[in-house]
Amino acid sequence: MKRKAVLMILLMIAGIVSAQTEVEIFPDKLNIQPFNANTLEPKLGFVFQTNQNNLDLDIGNSMDIVQWKNGSSNYSVGADLFTYTLLRKEANFHFPVDAVDYLFGINFSYKKRLDNSSFGFRGRISHISTHFVDGHFDEINDQWMNGLAPIVYSREFIELMPFYEFDDLRFYLGGTYTFHIDPTRLGKYNFQFGFDYFIKNKISEVVTPFIGYDFRLVKVASNYTGNNSFNLGIKLGKPQEKGISIFYHYYSGDNLHGEYVDFKSTYSAIGVNLDL
């Protein structure tokens, strides 16, 4: 069944590409920019939690391998490769690595441009796994910290995220189907919606305030819980090009690291991200 679905997607892509004349390999820009407050997006930077002794170091990128155009319609196929790393802050500028999550996969997207708006979708087929690292081990007492030993956490999923954008305000909703997951008590279906708004050319072409919110409904065991993610900040650089973002981040919901899947997390943070 999985092979048939992948084959159908590849045949559809091949049919679309064969009818196009404008094809670009390794383009400079993504067809679909990351959804700003979505927690599962490419990041290259730090998030310093203000009310906990933790910080996140995120290293990842998404790239379009090929884009092609048909009039006002843009299509793309690309790849994702992320790491999300949890560190502890200690004295003498030490940051032991507690846990790390890995994601890799492929993405595909469609975008239709209208006069003052656009719509489309982004899809992803991805794998995530997670691991405790040496910073989670207490060498003095020869045991895992807080009595938390590593668990097997792995999932493969298909995600589809339709969106509609007008006047630099973008709304989206989406769903995720996880076709393989460990531990098996986790739900296979997640749902989410959100928005982001980049206030372009109000201060200057290279100083852009932004705001984003994302709500994700996640099932653990027999219960669904809501995860809230909020960003407010400024990007230095053109909105859809390279730059640096400085922002306030608030999160409340299930812990984002798979090794802490049974824990909740609520925090405010200051983030710095290099936008590639």
Residue-wise pLDDT tens digits, 88-110 = 888 777 889 999 999 999 999 99
Which among 228, 208, 230, 204 is positioned nearest to 218, based on CA atoms?
Answer: 228
Q: Which amino acid is at 143?
A: Q
Total domains, the chain: 1
193 vs 2, residue with greater confidence: 193
Q: What is the mean pLDDT of the chain?
A: 90
In this predicted structure, the answer to whether residue 15 has a pLDDT above a threshold of 70 is no
Report the C-alpha gap between 80 and 105 in whole angstroms.
5
Q: Domain of 261?
A: 2-275
pLDDT in the model for residue 221: 73
pLDDT of amino acid 2: 55
Question: Does position 178 have pLDDT exceeding 70, yes or no?
Answer: yes
DSSP category for residue 89: -
pTM for this prediction: 0.89
Task: Please give the Cα distance from 99 to 131 (Å, whole number).
Answer: 6
Q: Which domain CATH number covers 150?
A: 2.40.230.10
Q: How far apart are the first and last CA of the chain?
A: 36
The two three-digit tokens of residue 122, written as one number: 């982004």
Q: Are 180 and 207 in contact (CB under 8 A)?
A: no
